[in-house]
């Protein structure tokens, strides 16, 4: 498994001489120990056949440093000088092979009984605030200390209770894959914790773990003595592995965890805090601000955020309409170009809600509504059948937008048929000496220029249409069934037409 990014990078910053991959990183400002140099000075035994390194056995309580368990992750991520000093104190050049009284072979060895006292509670105390953030990191440190000293506690008696038998529930808030960092805006991941000023990435690393314990450097040779530095140096460290959790058979099924890097949410949320008055992304644009808040909510819950945190979110809930959900009313053919263009002009990115931000292309509702009103579209949009659809569309789109008054005051009347809608030809009564009725085209739409019917037939159809209108309007007050209404209207219109002809 590839151990990437932050677990290793951070350790590198503190000087563990691990793999070349992270040594190349410019962020490494470690002691730059040349391990080849150290190898020359440390005696090694080969099997002579195929070059396999043979571990040195214990020489009366002295062990070859390379046989000691690798440095725990949380030590590698901090200043290791105290730790290395304790190990160095217990390491000296010993004779491992005699010829009579003459020593034929010297070797740097570490005394186990010395380590027991060197790693005193006082030494561990300085590492515990950091190592104790994550229950897994603390358990890893505990195992190391227990291994060399047999101690069942770290600093105070009882402080390691439960660490020997961790369960998935020991991670009280659970864990998340570090992949969710891709959903966090850089203004958040580059920020520092409000109280401690500790960088976000640093906190993340302290809470990180891998599925199984991984080596980050020279696993076969985790320690060696550098004569040049006159110090023990670490050539490897071990990541915290979720395998520290003792899993019972049913847990294996319930808590399946795949290869990869994770972080302990409780550890992160308790360590990284946000100043509600000065949030990391408050000056970085609304989308990043939304991403930040959604990320914190999804990771730590809303208690880490101000009470009204959802007020200004750029999400596809109401204020932003996902492009794929956008639709035009039925009278779309008559909608002017400049109105059609609003969806492009008001297009933007917004977050889909539910967990971490998933960026979606969306239309800014307020932006569209600013430039749209009932009169933005004439023609079909204002004719009875499609007008109802148009008004409903406008009302759904902008009705709840603050300060939008784009519908005429009488819009409620416009969604029920009016007298005018019931007259198939746009008639108006006008006293005249020549004829009783004069036909006047209205709305410029039905450019009715039919040759005039006789006064008699005009009067009959006028009467019929008025009856139809009367029926339709009175019916529509009692029932909402538009179909009935339209049918009657159509029927009478037909009769009217036939009579005229």
Applying CB under 6 A, which residues contact ligand NAG?
67-69, 143-144, 147, 294, 297-298, 301-302, 310, 353, 433
Distances (CA, A) of 341 to 367, 395, 399: 12, 19, 21
- Closest approach, Cβ 238 to ligand NAG, in A, equals 8
Report the alpha-carbon angle 474-478-482, nearest 5: 85
Read out DSSP for 310-369? Answer: TTT--BTTTTEEEGGG----GGGGGS-HHHHTHHHHTEEEEEESSSS-EEEEEEEHHHHH
Minimum CB–partner distance for residue 127 and ligand NAG (Å): 16
In whole angstroms, how close is the CB of 101 to ligand NAG at the nearest point?
31
| 75: three-class secondary structure by DSSP | helix
List phi, psi (to 5°) of 349: -95, 140
Number of other CB atoms surrounding residue 219 within 10 Å: 12
Q: Least Å distance between CB 140 and ligand NAG?
A: 8
Shorter beta-carbon distance to ligand NAG: residue 234 or 388? 234
Comparing CB distances to ligand NAG, the nearer of 174 and 285 is: 174
Judged by beta carbon, residue 11 or residue 148, the one nearer ligand NAG is 148
C-beta of 242 vs 393, nearer to ligand NAG: 242
Backbone angles phi, psi at 464, to 5 degrees: -60, -45
Closer residue to ligand NAG, CB minimum distance, 433 or 477: 433
As a whole number of angstroms, the distance between CA 234 and CA 178 comes to 26
Q: Which two tokens stand for residue 24?
A: 């190349």
- Cβ at position 208, least distance to ligand NAG in Å: 19
Q: Is the dihedral of CA 286, 288, 291, 293 positive or negative?
A: negative
**Residue 365, CB half-sphere, CA atoms under 13 Å: how many?**
25
- Closer by beta carbon to ligand NAG, 33 or else 294: 294
* CB closer to ligand NAG, 301 vs 322: 301
DSSP assigned state of 23: H
Query: Shortest Cβ distance from residue 274 to ligand NAG (Å)?
Result: 15
In the complex with ligand NAG, the residue whose CB is nearer, 312 or 345, is 312
CB of 442 to ligand NAG, least distance (A): 22
Give the C-alpha separation, 55 to 37, whole Å.
20
Question: Taking phi first (over 0 means left), then psi (-120 to 50 degrees means alpha), and beta for anything else, what does residue 100 get?
Answer: left
Classify residue 7 as exposed, middle or buried by CB count within 10 Å of its CB (0-12, 13-18, 19+): buried
Q: How far apart are the first and last CA of the chain?
A: 87
Retrieve residue 407's tokens. Answer: 């519908």
Q: 96, 109 in Cβ contact below 8 A? A: yes
Minimum Å distance from CB 490 to ligand NAG? Answer: 37
- Nearer to ligand NAG among residue 310 and residue 418 (C-beta): 310
Q: Which is nearer to ligand NAG, 311 or 324 (CB)?
A: 311
Phi, psi for residue 62 in degrees, rounded to 5:
-110, 135
Nearest distance, CB of residue 301 and ligand NAG, angstroms: 6
The least CB distance from residue 355 to ligand NAG, in Å, is 7
In three-state secondary structure terms, 221 is coil
């Amino acid at each position: 498994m590839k151990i990437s990014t932050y677990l290793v990078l951070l350790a590198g910053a503190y000087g563990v001489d691990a793999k070349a991959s992270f040594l190349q990183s410019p962020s490494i400002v470690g002691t730059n120990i040349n391990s080849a140099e150290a190898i020359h000075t440390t005696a090694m035994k080969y099997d002579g056949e195929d070059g396999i390194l043979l571990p040195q056995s214990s020489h009366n309580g002295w062990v070859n440093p390379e046989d000691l368990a690798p440095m725990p992750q949380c030590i590698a991520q901090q200043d290791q000088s105290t730790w290395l000093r304790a190990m160095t104190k217990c390491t000296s050049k010993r004779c491992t092979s005699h010829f009579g009284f003459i020593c034929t072979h010297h070797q740097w060895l570490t005394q186990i009984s010395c380590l027991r006292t060197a790693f005193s509670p006082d030494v561990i105390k300085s590492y515990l605030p950091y190592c104790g953030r994550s229950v897994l990191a603390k358990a890893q440190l505990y195992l190391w200390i227990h291994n060399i000293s047999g101690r069942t506690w770290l600093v105070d008696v009882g402080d390691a209770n439960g660490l020997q038998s961790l369960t998935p529930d020991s991670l009280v808030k659970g864990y998340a894959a570090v992949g969710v960092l891709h959903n966090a805006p850089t203004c958040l991941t580059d920020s520092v914790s409000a109280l401690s000023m500790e960088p976000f990435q640093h906190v993340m690393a302290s809470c990180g773990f891998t599925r199984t314990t991984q080596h980050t450097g020279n696993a076969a040779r985790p320690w060696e003595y550098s004569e040049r530095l006159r110090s023990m140096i670490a050539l490897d460290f071990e990541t915290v592995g979720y395998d520290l959790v003792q899993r019972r058979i049913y847990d294996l099924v319930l808590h399946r965890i795949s290869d990869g890097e994770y972080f302990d949410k409780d550890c992160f949320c308790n360590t990284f805090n946000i100043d509600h008055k000065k949030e990391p992304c408050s000056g970085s644009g609304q989308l990043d601000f939304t991403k930040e808040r959604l990320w914190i909510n999804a990771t730590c819950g809303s208690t880490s955020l101000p009470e009204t945190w959802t007020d200004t979110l750029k999400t596809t809930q109401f204020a932003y309409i996902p492009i794929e959900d956008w639709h035009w009313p039925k009278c779309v053919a008559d909608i002017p170009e400049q109105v059609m263009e609003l969806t492009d002009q008001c297009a933007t990115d917004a977050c889909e809600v539910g967990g971490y931000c998933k960026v979606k292309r969306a239309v800014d509702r307020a932006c569209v509504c600013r430039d749209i009103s009932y009169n933005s579209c004439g023609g079909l949009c204002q004719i009875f059948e499609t007008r109802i659809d148009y008004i409903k569309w406008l009302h759904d789109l902008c009705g709840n937008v603050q300060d939008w008054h784009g519908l005429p005051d009488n819009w409620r009347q416009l969604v029920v048929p009016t007298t005018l809608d019931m007259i198939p030809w746009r008639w108006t009564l006008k006293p005249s000496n020549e004829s009783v009725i004069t036909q006047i085209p209205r709305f410029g739409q039905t450019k009715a220029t039919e040759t005039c019917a006789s006064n008699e037939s005009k009067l009959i159809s006028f009467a019929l249409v008025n009856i139809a209108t009367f029926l339709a309007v009175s019916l529509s007050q009692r029932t909402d069934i538009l179909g009935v209404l339209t049918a009657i209207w159509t029927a009478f219109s037909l009769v009217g037409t036939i009579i005229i002809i």
